[in-house]
Structure 1
């Protein structure tokens, strides 16, 4: 299988978590129907890397060092944090010199001053970090999965998925542009709602929800991710006499290696 960087777009996705009585809830958004990828689908916030993400990753004063993470890995973490801010208004960052994440009041001011401009492309994330004296909390992201779109698809992505606990006093809300709706929902509930036809899920989202569902808390999910090796998944499309199948590595932990679609 070809995984040449020229064949796909690099992307980052953040799975925001919070604990609830029914188990860990996940913040998910519904894509606008005019978006060219996963239109109308229930997805985790995320998107393509921006050239600015690498610039931020290379500035030690703008993010927290993570042992074992090279420049490329840090760039994906930066992108995940930026996408969370753009798509749902959650900002995993601290003021320079501060030990705690931004409180709701300070975040609200940053959101009002910069989020719309960031989404419109009239200000860079680096400029916001510099102006607001922020340090991105790249240490709070836990790598969870790595998926590459199958060969032959019109748009291909190389996507790294991260887990992160949403700050308690930051309210997540969809941007109203790329995302037209949002919800906090358990993985099991999302799968049930999709089965009932109330939501559409792309294959990668559905399988990652399956992998998230058995865990009873956000802490349990993070601990499981830390103790597990990530197996890259690039589904292979196989034609059969009755239709098509997706083949993925069984070792990736998604409940099998062959799926009908």
Structure 2
């Protein structure tokens, strides 16, 4: 009997950026009881849901996107809101690509509803509509696209986005899926992983390494807005010494193309 690979689930992850004064990215610590990347330091993100694909967003989102691309961007904005309290949105009466996004006052207004939206007890569409907002999907820069290897029992089709953090908005963890929220330079996060002070899974480490090549938010947005994204589907193989490893395509532009299997944590519960 031939095993069939699990179908990857559309997901989105967002790298919220700020300069303080060096480039920093927001990372959250996954709760130890979560069934994927438990206890790991990650970027806010998660699976797309049915409402992310609702036609109701036609009137409630800036940016010329459609299909899975729009669904993934909406999921990224929603997950950023649920897991960090950061909301990438504009007043509906002052909408338009490139227009200013809301600040701390609106983020504070929406903050009490984060848990309800996360639990699906409240509609994210209705929350945005009731507060006369539109999602600023155009502020997201497509940064990476990773698909979980076919041999894994749980697979994700994950789009990574960069976004400048709106001025004056403050990040805080949600206390349910995440237990901490910290701003780190990419180098600091990678050093923590190397020293064993943090668990950071392979795709996250690779995207931190890529982000570390830019010194500021403006440089990151400018560079990666102009670069194409190559899909990464790691495949199992061997290195030159015959040791089992994962291979990723060199054209994806990451700092390495091979990762020993012994370094891949089993982050998905079977």
Please classify the TM superposition score into its range, dividing by the shorter chain length: over 0.9
- 1:172 to partner: Cα distance: 0.7
Q: 1:6 to 1:192 in 2, by over 3 A?
A: closer
Map of 1:64 onto structure 2? 62
- Describe the superposition over 1:159-212 as per-residue Cα deviations: whole angstroms up to 9, x where unpaired: 000000001111011101100111000001100011111100110001111111
Contact 2:63–2:136 (Cα < 8 Å) also in 1: no
Q: In the aligned structure 2, how far is the partner of 1:6 from the partner of 1:153?
A: 8
Across the aligned residues of Structure 1 and Structure 2, the Cα RMSD in angstroms comes to 1.8
Map of 1:106 onto structure 2? 106
- 1:83 to partner: Cα distance: 0.3
Q: 1:6 to 1:245 in 2, by over 3 A?
A: closer
- 1:256 to partner: Cα distance: 3.0
Q: 1:123 to 1:215 in 2, by over 3 A?
A: same
Map of 1:39 onto structure 2? 38
Q: 1:160 to 1:5 in 2, by over 3 A?
A: farther
Note the residue ranges of structure 2 that are not aligned, 5 or more in a row: 262-270
Q: In the aligned structure 2, how far is the partner of 1:159 from the partner of 1:257?
A: 19
Q: In the aligned structure 2, how far is the partner of 1:124 from the partner of 1:165?
A: 25
Q: In the aligned structure 1, how far is the partner of 2:57 from the partner of 2:5?
A: 24
Q: Which moved more, 1:243-252 or 1:156-165?
A: 243-252
- Describe the superposition over 1:28-75 as per-residue Cα deviations: whole angstroms up to 9, x where unpaired: 00101111110011100000001100115x633200023xx3322111
Note the residue ranges of structure 1 that are not aligned, 5 or more in a row: none
**Given the two structures, how large is their TM-score scaled by the length of structure 2?**
0.89
Map of 2:246 onto structure 1? 246
Q: In the aligned structure 2, how far is the partner of 1:6 from the partner of 1:50?
A: 18
Map of 2:71 onto structure 1? 75
Q: Is structure 2 residue 47 aligned with structure 1 residue 48?
A: yes
- Describe the superposition over 1:94-149 as per-residue Cα deviations: whole angstroms up to 9, x where unpaired: 1211243222122212212x212112221111111121121000110010000000
Q: Report how many residues are paired.
A: 253
**Given the two structures, how large is their TM-score scaled by the length of structure 1?**
0.92
1:112-191, aligned counterparts within 5 Å? 112=112, 114-191=113-190
- 1:6 to partner: Cα distance: 6.3
Quick one: which of 82, 85, 91 aligns to 2:81?
A: 85
- 1:5 to partner: Cα distance: 10
Q: In the aligned structure 1, how far is the partner of 2:253 from the partner of 2:100?
A: 34
Q: Secondary structure at the match of 1:209?
A: helix
Q: Secondary structure at the match of 2:173?
A: coil
